[in-house]
Copies of this chain bind each other. A is one copy, B any other.
Amino acid sequence: MKVVADLCIVPMGVGPSVSPYVREIKAIIDASDLEAEMHPNGTNIEGELSDICRLAEQCEARLAELGVQRVFFTLIFSSRRDKAQSMADKLKAVS
């Protein structure tokens, strides 16, 4: 299922500053084939839901290597069948 998603990954238990971990997450997402753009509260990603879930798992595995034992995720997404709509289309439609 093709979706436009907003993924937020929260490393728990490693202090209030998580930017070193988010940089690792960003590197994994950037290295993937998925269209993605990070914003201050997460990353917008376009693609198959299964690919996005796999990406979330890769990020969790990398965080575990760095000592993060617990990770909290929010994944908000939508699908539509009446027409194809990219992330860029969504923004264009409202501006």
Contacts and interface: CB of A to CB of B under 8 A. Distances in A.
A80 B10 contact: no
Given A18-B12, A74-B74, A40 B81 contact: no
Contacts of A91: 38-40
Given A38-B94, A56-B49, A91-B39, A10 B72 contact: yes
Chain A residues touching B, range = 35 or more
Contact of A40 (B19, B41, B87): B87
Main secondary structure of the interface of A (DSSP, over half): mixed
A70 to B, nearest CB: 4
A28 interface: no
A94 B23 CA distance: 5
